[in-house]
Chain A
Amino acid sequence: MRSGGFFVLCAFEKERTHVNAPTSFKQSDQQSALRERLVVIGNGMAGCRAVEEILARDPGRFDVTIFGAEPRVNYNRIMLSPVLAGEKAFEDIVINGEDWYADNAITLVSGDPVVSIDRAAQTVVAKSGRSEPYDRLLIATGSDPFIIPVPGKDLAGVVTFRDLDDVDRMLAAADKGGSAVVIGGGLLGLEAAHGLTLRGMKVTVIHIMPTLMERQLDEAAGWLLKAELEQRGQTIVTGGDTGEIVGRDGHVSAVKLKDGREFPADIVVMAVGIRPATGLARSAGLEVERGIMVDDHMVTSDPAIMAVGECVQHRGTCYGLVAPLWDMCRALADHACGAPTGYAGSVTSTKLKVSGIDLFSAGDFSGGEGCEDIVMRDAARGLYKRVVIKDDRLIGAVLYGDTADGSWYFDLLKKGEDVSPIREALIFGQAFAAGGAPLDPNAAVAALSDDAEICGCNGVSKGKVVETIRAGACSLDAVRSQCKASASCGSCTGLVESLLAVTLGDAVQSKAKTLCKCTSFTHDDVRRLILEKNLRAIPQVMQQLHWSTPDGCASCRPALNYYLLCAWPGEYEDDQKSRFVNERMHANIQKDGTYSVVPRMWGGLTNPRELRAIADVVEKYNAPMVKVTGGQRLDIFGIKKEDLPAVWADLNAAGMVSGHAYGKSLRTVKTCVGSEWCRFGTQDSTGLGVKLERMTWGSWMPHKFKIAVSGCPRNCAEATIKDFGVVCVDSGYELHVGGNGGIKVRATDLLGKVATEAEAMEVCAAFVQLYREQAHYLERTAPWIERVGLEHVKAALFDDADAVTRLAARFRHSQQFMQDDPWAERAAGKHAELHQHLAEVRPLNFTPTTTEAEFA
């Protein structure tokens, strides 16, 4: 009987010692006899909030018993981070203290987890053996931290970050000082790392993905965050895959990555993710996928059982943040009190609780068809803002550095209102855009006072800019060169353009051709600023130079990668994903998706061993064609991307290296037979060609680069349509530059004449380096020379007696890092993922894989 059960239960209750808040008897027996018994499993954020919501609607409806695995009252889990950081004490984060349970006649059974649910008998049984009958059951068991299954995961000193006990364990470790390794660079991991840093530990964060918090941040914001954390003394290892946790005497001592790197650790915090705690529900036979399946009223597959919080799966989604819980709890209480409304899912937003770092992210920012990005960057203030608009609605936002407008954007996003009337000013935030009035950026600029500072870098006022424009500077470039406004970081480019428009109206001259549509800077600007501002990574260039897109485009990414590579030889780490397919794969893609392979034949020379190796490869890999190219070497066609590493290994074995037939780099050095054999030959053109190729191969350049050496003016090697051509004559070597035999044939210009082979090589190295340092990406020597003029090139090389030596020395320095055969690296297994499929699907085989079974 229901009332009987109630009394027995309460009598039993009083005897128990670990009960924090014994039931009080405020209601009359009469009333309680009518009440349904509500049992809640989980004394966490969702469970208690649900009870609060029910009490607010109908306080007399249920007799409530709450089981909690943790030996304490209901507290605010998200504030564990400030507790760890020492900014709050446990008392500060309690949501409902003992008096709440007492005042509302709630029985709290804490420190005693429920171990089974008997749905037929409608009872739950706790670990202590205590059994409790229910009319309605609410499961609010939250999540369990995920532990990556690596050797050493069970060592003492490996902790998770979920409850107060975990915080206590971390604090105990921090008291002893030393090193901490946090595995996982998501929200939780970074908050743990921050806390431990403040507590005096030396912290390393190991994150498997290349971007921190990759689920909330894009590459640009992730980069800013990483830079900031590093500045605070944390070591951030991205792309780090944990292989093993190393122990000494049963206690953790280090974390070892799969690539062999090792980081000392006195404590290891695993913060790699959470899994909904569904064990109880699953063994009770409730419908469970990844979470406990619930309908819009938070009812499970058993109508007497509800579930709420992180343990549930609603319309296919499991949440890991608190905001959705509040909405779930409202719907749950409405239903439980007989006035169902329903929950329709939540849009979530994230903030990182690390003091001094302002970061906000909400909604969807993965772009795509119909999406438009508006990006604002302010390098001086370390600001990055990005909003994503689709069909005139805001669908996503990432803010770094200034999150004041986060809640405003989030509100716009949730309401799904038409933002087109405020579109122009949207990125500037609520202060500019709200009020609904369309804001003309020009009008706002016009309204600025004359002494308002426009360019912070160079201290240029509005008055000065306007004066410069009135004095005849009719373009952005002219303003930049004449008064320096917007010539440094570029963040005021928009303002200067507005001033041009306001001052000149239609008379503004169109802007100089920019590197691409993502930036207002030209190629030359970007190259100069990379050096001036010491920029060393693509996201850094984009941030400092105020790129208008989050991660660039197919034009600027390869260009920036090259410019950085050229500026910082040996230091810049090449960005594979910014390379065109051929350079990424080190082979030429063909129309059918296979690749062609061209090994280098130095100066067009070959030998039986090489020819045999090529013949063997053609047969072994069934290459459908092998052809002599126009560049004096052999091209093997039709190789599959999976076979490339093996093909290269075979060619390497015969001493052959990549011919870079795919690269913006040195292609071939064509030679003729020269004085060795030819009756007209004046010098050893073949030998010089081989030497030139040995010197220049492997170097990355703005575009492809071809060299030829002819033994006499009959010019059989076609040296006068090459980027650098040598024509040997009796008295020495004529050096020719800027030729092109391609789309628009251009004969070379004569650069000069030298007497010795050594001088010819030195000038070649200097010329290549000048081209590398000055040309625009994808500009061959012919259009480059037509643009800058032969005189400029001559002056740069010969006006100063040491220029050739200095340029050649810079080239040789850079070549130290370039002349590794990329094929050998790949054949040895580097970037294997580029050559392998993820998996193969065989339609007839329908047996679930083990991983699929994991969730079943």
Chain B
Amino acid sequence: MIGDWLDIGPVDQIAPGNARTLPVRGGDEIAVFHTLDGGFHALVNKCPHKHGPLSQGIVHGGVVTCPLHSWNISLKTGEALGDDKGCVPVIPLRVDAGRIYLLREAVLGGASPAKAA
């Protein structure tokens, strides 16, 4: 239901091949990616390796290359690809009528004291 999804604004705020960030008070910053073939994905903005900001990496296919030590992270599963091992949480995202929605629960994660309310 719409109430469970957080509207973070129109799709055109993020040009294809780019990512933008969404700080969460008391929680982990989120990176929202727009791939060159029009997909949208959201991950916690922390590389599983040494917490590099994935939002600053190069996006190619459904993958982002971490800016710090070039691990390749799948935008769909948050998993490190190739020989590297690790996984970053994926925030469920959907696009509806040109707007991006994130699953509220996942955005707030463990951060929200109001979650139970």
Contact A557 B60 (CB under 8 A): yes
Interface contact A837-B22, CB-CB below 8 Å: yes
| Shortest CB distance B63–A (Å) | 7
Given A211-B16, A219-B16, A273-B98, A589 and B39 contact (CB-CB distance below 8 Å): no
Shortest CB distance A190–B (Å): 16
A838 partner, pick from B9, B50, B52, B60, beta carbons under 8 A = B9
Question: Quick check: is B59 within 8 A (CB to CB) of the other chain?
Answer: yes
Give Cα distance in the complex from A593 to B54, angstroms.
Answer: 9
> Range of interface residues on chain B?
35 or more
- The residue that A366 contacts in the complex, of B27, B57, B62, B113, with Cβ under 8 A, is B62
Shortest C-beta distance, B11 to chain A (Å), equals 8
A275 touches B97 (CB 8 A): yes
B88 at the interface (CB under 8 A from A): no
Q: Which residues of A contact B (CB under 8 A)?
A: 208-211, 214-219, 239, 241, 273, 275, 289-290, 316, 318, 365-371, 373, 398, 549-554, 557-558, 576-582, 584-585, 589, 591-593, 833-834, 836-844, 846, 848-849, 851-852, 855-856
A290→B97 contact, CB < 8 A: yes
20 more CB-based (< 8 A) A-B contacts, given A593-B56, A851-B7? A216-B38, A239-B15, A290-B2, A367-B39, A367-B62, A367-B75, A368-B39, A368-B63, A369-B81, A398-B37, A589-B56, A836-B20, A839-B9, A841-B25, A841-B107, A841-B108, A843-B113, A843-B114, A843-B115, A852-B7
Nearest B residue (CB) for A577: B17
Residues in B neighbouring A208, C-beta threshold 8 A: 12
**Residue from A216, A367, A593, A843 in contact with B26 in the complex, judged by beta carbons closer than 8 Å:** A843
- Nearest CB on B from A369, distance (A): 4
Given A558-B58, A838-B21, the answer on whether A844 and B113 have CB atoms closer than 8 Å is yes
CB–CB A841/B57 < 8 A: no
The answer, yes or no, to whether B67 is at the interface (CB within 8 Å) is yes
Return chain A residues, CB-CB under 8 Å to B3: 848, 856
Please determine whether B35 and A367 come into contact, CB atoms closer than 8 angstroms. Answer: yes
Closest A residue, CB atoms, query B77 = A369
Q: Which of A218, A368, A370, A592 has the most CB of B within 10 A?
A: A368
A557 to B60, CA, bound (A): 9
State whether B114 touches A209 (Cβ < 8 A): no
**Alpha-carbon gap, A303 to B71, bound state (A):** 53
Is B44 in contact with chain A by the CB < 8 A criterion?
Answer: no
- How far apart are the CA atoms of A209 and B35 in the complex, in Å? 12
Given A577-B18, A841-B108, A367 and B38 contact (CB-CB distance below 8 Å) = no
Contact status of A369 and B74, CB under 8 A, knowing A210-B16, A837-B20, A842-B25:
yes
List 17 contacting pairs A-B, 8 Å CB cutoff, sorted by A.
A209-B11, A219-B17, A219-B36, A273-B97, A275-B97, A368-B75, A549-B60, A580-B58, A593-B52, A837-B23, A840-B23, A841-B30, A842-B25, A843-B115, A844-B114, A855-B2, A855-B96
Query: CA separation between A540 and B21, bound complex, in Å?
Result: 30
Asked if residues A553 and B60 are in contact (CB atoms below 8 Å), the reply is yes
Write the nearest CB–CB distance from A578 to chain B, whole angstroms. 7
Chain B contacts with A in 87-117, Cβ cutoff 8 A: 94, 96-99, 107-108, 111-115, 117
Chain B residues with CB under 8 Å of A371's CB are 61-62, 76
Give every chain B residue within 8 A of A398 (Cβ-Cβ): 37
**Total cross-chain contacts (CB, 8 A):** 194
Partner of A553, one of B14, B61, B96, B112: B61
Cα of A582 to Cα of B107 in the assembled complex, Å: 28
- Name the contact of A578 in the complex, choosing from B21, B25, B58 (C-beta under 8 A): B58
A581 touches B37 (CB 8 A): no
Contacts of A369 on B, CB cut-off 8 Å? Answer: 62, 74, 76-77, 79, 81
CA–CA, A851 to B7, complex, Å?
7
Contact, CB under 8 Å: A838 / B12: no
Which B residues lie within 8 Å of A839 (CB)? 8-9, 22
Find chain B residues with CB under 8 A from A553 CB: 60-61, 65
A217 to nearest B CB, angstroms?
8
Please measure, in the bound complex, the distance between the C-alpha atom of A840 and the C-alpha atom of B111, giving whole angstroms. Answer: 14
- For A216, what are the chain B residues with a Cβ–Cβ distance below 8 Å? 38
Task: Say whether A843 contacts B112, CB under 8 Å.
Answer: yes
Q: How many angstroms between the C-alpha atoms of A697 and B94 in the bound complex?
A: 45
Q: Is B96 a contact of A290 with CB atoms below 8 Å?
A: yes
In this complex, what residue of B is CB-closest to A549? B61
Distance from A320 Cβ to chain B, minimum over Cβ atoms (Å): 10
Q: Are B2 and A852 in contact (CB under 8 A)?
A: yes
Q: Which residues of B contact A844 (CB under 8 A)?
A: 25, 112-114
Min Cβ gap B72→A in Å is 8
Give the docked Cα–Cα distance between A554 and B61 (Å): 10
Which chain A residues lie closer than 8 Å to B7 at the CB level?
848-849, 851-852
- Known A368-B77, A593-B52, A838-B20: A554·B58 in contact at CB below 8 Å: yes
**Complex A-B, nearest 6 residue pairs according to Cβ-Cβ distance, in ascending order:** A366-B39, A367-B62, A368-B76, A368-B62, A577-B17, A218-B37
Residues of B within 8 A of A558 (CB): 58
Query: Which residue of B1, B72, B115 contacts A289 across the interface (Cβ within 8 Å)?
Result: B1
Whether A218 and B38, one on each chain, are in contact in the complex, defined by CB atoms closer than 8 angstroms, is: yes
Who on chain A is nearest to B99 by CB?
A: A851
Contact between A554 and B36, CB atoms less than 8 A apart = no
Q: Is the CB of A841 within 8 A of B37?
A: no
For A589, the chain B residues whose CB sits under 8 A away are: 52-53, 56, 67-68
Q: Which residues of A contact B9 (CB under 8 A)?
A: 838-839, 851
Q: Are A367 and B63 in contact (CB under 8 A)?
A: yes
Contact across chains for B58 and A209 when beta carbons are under 8 A apart: no
Contact of B68 (CB < 8 Å), options: A318, A549, A591:
A591
Chain A residues with CB below 8 A from B17, complex form: 219, 551, 577-578
Cβ–Cβ < 8 Å partners of A579 in chain B? 58
Establish whether residues A557 and B79, one from each chain, have CB atoms under 8 Å apart when the complex forms. no
Given A837-B21, A839-B9: A289 in contact with B60 (beta carbons within 8 A): no
Given A289-B2, A580-B67, A581-B67; A550-B36 close (CB under 8 Å) = yes
Contact at A846–B58, with CB atoms within 8 Å?
no
Q: How far is the CB of A645 from chain B (nearest CB, A)?
A: 16
- Within the assembled complex, what's the spacing in Å between the Cα atoms of A210 and B17? 10
Indicate whether A577 sits within 8 Å of B58 (C-beta atoms), given known contacts A593-B53, A838-B13: yes
Residue pair A214, B56 in contact (C-beta under 8 Å) = no
Q: Contacts A209-B16, A368-B74, A593-B53 known; A551 to B38 CB distance under 8 Å? A: no
Q: How far is the CA of A464 from the CA of B34 in the complex (A)?
A: 47
Inter-chain contact B74/A210, CB cutoff 8 Å: no
Report how far A290 CA is from B1 CA in the complex, Å: 10
> Which residues from A are CB-within-8-Å of B75?
367-368
Q: How far is the CB of A64 from chain B (nearest CB, A)?
A: 32
Instruction: Report the minimum CB–CB distance from B86 to chain A (whole Å).
Output: 13
A214 to chain B: which residues have CB within 8 Å? Answer: 16, 38
